[in-house]
Structure 1
């Protein structure tokens, strides 16, 4: 019981000490397990409220970037085009550089807005959103291949968002910290849900403590009752594996269909 208390982590559900020993000790262990279950449920509920607020704020910022900053930069581009037609020849190169810088800034604003609010997820669904994400990260020396079938089992919108955000955070970590040149993103149906796997050929997990990105992924997985594992990949690198259960109605329907 002492070892369990010293190593308990509310973001890693399921680890419980066995109820055994004399009656008083067994009762104490059972009470501790019940307390841990309650704390994890409260943590999941709190994380859910925080993540929902975070998503609302992301949507607001993305909308303002697109509607306000994006439109302002578009107007600047149009103004620069009118100026370019009238300036003396010796200034045209400088105006052209200003146009290019403004255009690059507009593209960056749009890219940030897409990451903050994955419109493709809402409009075209999870498979298309994951394929688009893999294409977006294929740059600057990193190649990302994807294996995402179109015939996935029905998932709740919250589960689809968690799958997308975990894939996004995993590829972000790969691009920033893993020193990898190749990553693979795959999503496959299981008998009782789906499994997301993001694998890279980088430097691996190492011995450093988990950062905010990994703990954020754990919180998102806990929110929808999913399992997430961070493991060494075969041949080096890192595997991020997320198993998301199907909605209860879908699981029961599958079992009914499989029975004789």
Structure 2
């Protein structure tokens, strides 16, 4: 059920307002706009019947006064309302009207949106080839207009279609393209939506470590994104944790999503949460609970799920009923699954969609070549029309200007590079000096103070043997104090000079440090996802110190009771996330004046890493670090 929820949230593309009047007066167009606004408000408040009435009134008035932008706004939003209620046939009719008017008015952007909205309805009806045809048309128009935000959404839609067809590689390919565009636009909402879609495709491909990492990254953006995205991320996490057999965390994730359900959320969220809980309890062998949840889902499913989603639910329910030794019910459910599966996805459908996708890819390459040939031809004609002497003079002037500007830029860049190198060298020298001083201090503590305390403890033990019994407790207390001091000296020595890092590597050192720091007041959990590469000792030490500084800040300032340190490797990128449930702070007022924060940011700078610090009062703090690493050599990429 993981794919269905992500798709339902991500695919909807509505038209944006563009109010221009054709053949109507200002009062009438204002009335249309007001009706659309009231409909949107009612929809947001969960008053769907009122929203539908306002939308229909707006559409009728816009049509009667030939207010085309208002009519296109109505068709786009009303299609979305019908789609959310699984009224796909009615939504298809309205989206078809949207396409007709968009073509009549020559509005290519709205034409692309209409094609996409029609594709959504065909996909939900199981007409995959027709859905793909319309989506290809939408994507071609968006690429012609270079509408990057729209292209990003359409790529996600393509990923969803290939997900339904169980085409793993194509689904992941388009999900990654959508995520890359969202990152380029630096849009937090679209990044979060793309991360959800990417996690779904990664689960299909068995990349559970990456899916876990991307789902957790989605939750880091939850205060910038709609609640539905956060709910979707928690539901995805539930399935991912179930794969790792971390069943309690799976149940907790589903319950967190369930707590977020309110009147504004559509009923299909509850369906997916209940089916997820049923799957987790089934994996745990608690079949009675699994049966209870799946019965609750089946009573809602036919009303709130499309045929594609209903197919997967029938399969899951049949497996649970079979294990509960209810063969009649299991057979009935399996028969329903088979009938739906045969009608929705067969070999002919899959081949048709593949042909359309190949045709799109080929057409895209041909258009690119044609545009290049056209530009070359235009440049050639312009050069022929110019006077040779004028062209030569202009060329000389341009060359001189380029030489002057190039020399200035080269000198400027060289000065900037030299300054950057000097700053980096000074920073590295300072940190190396700190490490040397740490090592010297640790050695003196261990060999000097530690040895003295060990000798003192031995003398006290010797005295304790022949001492007066009345003074024995005092002597024993002195021994305990010396023992505690010796333990503190050893712990401080280990923190100052982590020899374990050089002997056992970064993963073992981080786990050992966090276990040593954890206590009754602060529990620190460590998760390592993927295989960490071998890295230079300098880089490992810098990463270790970043974690140490962050954990030290949590202990001193956050008031947290729980903290998480997560290291992960995906492709050639090392990801580090450190979170706590403490009191947090206003990230907008963040300053690097504190010594701990200054040292942490200085080490991140030496690692050439990208970092993000997110926090707000009462909501804890999350520090994220992304570091490029050469997978083959383990070297850091500058």
TM class by smaller structure: 0.7 to 0.9
Which SS does the other structure have where 2:466 is aligned?
Answer: coil
- Structure 1 counterpart of 2:430: 50
1:57-136 equivalences under 5 Å are 57-136=437-516
Asked if 2 retains the 8 angstrom alpha-carbon contact of 1:169 and 1:213, the reply is: yes
Asked if 1 retains the 8 angstrom alpha-carbon contact of 2:584 and 2:619, the reply is: yes
Bigger relative contact order (CA 8 A; separation at least 6): 1
Asked if 2 retains the 8 angstrom alpha-carbon contact of 1:154 and 1:246, the reply is: no
Asked if 1 retains the 8 angstrom alpha-carbon contact of 2:530 and 2:570, the reply is: no
Of 588, 591, 596 in structure 2, the residue corresponding to residue 209 of structure 1 is 591
Scaled by the length of structure 2, the TM-score of the pair is 0.34
Displacement, 1:68?
1.0
Asked if 1 retains the 8 angstrom alpha-carbon contact of 2:582 and 2:619, the reply is: yes
Displacement, 1:31?
7.5
Displacement, 1:227?
2.1
1:23-42 equivalences under 5 Å are 35-42=415-422
Number of matched residues?
230
Displacement, 1:126?
0.5
Of 621, 632, 636 in structure 2, the residue corresponding to residue 238 of structure 1 is 621
- Structure 2 counterpart of 1:17: none
Displacement, 1:97?
0.6
- Structure 2 counterpart of 1:161: 541
Deviations 1:138-161 (A, max 9, x none): 114101011025721221211111
Displacement, 1:104?
0.3
Q: Given the superposition, is the C-alpha separation of residues 140 and 187 from structure 1 closer, same or farther in structure 2, using an over 3 Å criterion?
A: same
Displacement, 1:41?
2.8
Q: Given the superposition, is the C-alpha separation of residues 208 and 195 from structure 1 closer, same or farther in structure 2, using an over 3 Å criterion?
A: closer
Displacement, 1:105?
0.2
Asked if 2 retains the 8 angstrom alpha-carbon contact of 1:232 and 1:238, the reply is: yes
Question: Take 1:251 and 1:69, find their aligned partners in 2: how far apart are those partners?
Answer: 39
Unaligned runs of 5+ in 2: 1-401
- Structure 1 counterpart of 2:611: 228
Deviations 1:13-56 (A, max 9, x none): xxxxxxxxxx999x999977765554333211110111111111
Asked if 1 retains the 8 angstrom alpha-carbon contact of 2:530 and 2:569, the reply is: no
Asked if 2 retains the 8 angstrom alpha-carbon contact of 1:226 and 1:244, the reply is: yes
Q: Given the superposition, is the C-alpha separation of residues 105 and 49 from structure 1 closer, same or farther in structure 2, using an over 3 Å criterion?
A: same
Asked if 1 retains the 8 angstrom alpha-carbon contact of 2:568 and 2:576, the reply is: yes
Question: Take 2:502 and 2:535, find their aligned partners in 1: how far apart are those partners?
Answer: 13
Scaled by the length of structure 1, the TM-score of the pair is 0.79
Deviations 1:211-247 (A, max 9, x none): 12111111112213222221228x8211112222214
- Structure 2 counterpart of 1:193: 573
Q: Work out which of the two has the higher radius of gyration on C-alpha atoms and give 1 or 2.
A: 2
Question: Take 2:487 and 2:568, find their aligned partners in 1: how far apart are those partners?
Answer: 33
Question: Take 1:36 and 1:111, find their aligned partners in 2: how far apart are those partners?
Answer: 43
Displacement, 1:205?
3.2
Displacement, 1:209?
2.9
Question: Take 2:514 and 2:419, find their aligned partners in 1: how far apart are those partners?
Answer: 36
Unaligned runs of 5+ in 1: 1-22, 253-260
Asked if 1 retains the 8 angstrom alpha-carbon contact of 2:571 and 2:631, the reply is: no
Which SS does the other structure have where 2:531 is aligned?
Answer: coil
1:183 lines up with 2:566 in the alignment: no
Asked if 1 retains the 8 angstrom alpha-carbon contact of 2:457 and 2:482, the reply is: yes
Deviations 1:131-187 (A, max 9, x none): 011112211410101102572122121111111000011000001100111000010
After superposing the two structures, state which structure 1 stretch, 33-42 or 59-68, moved more: 33-42
Asked if 1 retains the 8 angstrom alpha-carbon contact of 2:572 and 2:631, the reply is: no
Question: Take 1:30 and 1:205, find their aligned partners in 2: how far apart are those partners?
Answer: 43
Displacement, 1:195?
1.1
After superposing the two structures, state which structure 1 stretch, 210-219 or 73-82, moved more: 210-219
- Structure 2 counterpart of 1:141: 521
4+ residue runs over 6 A deviation: 27-34
Question: Take 1:185 and 1:45, find their aligned partners in 2: how far apart are those partners?
Answer: 29
Which SS does the other structure have where 1:81 is aligned?
Answer: helix
- Structure 2 counterpart of 1:174: 554
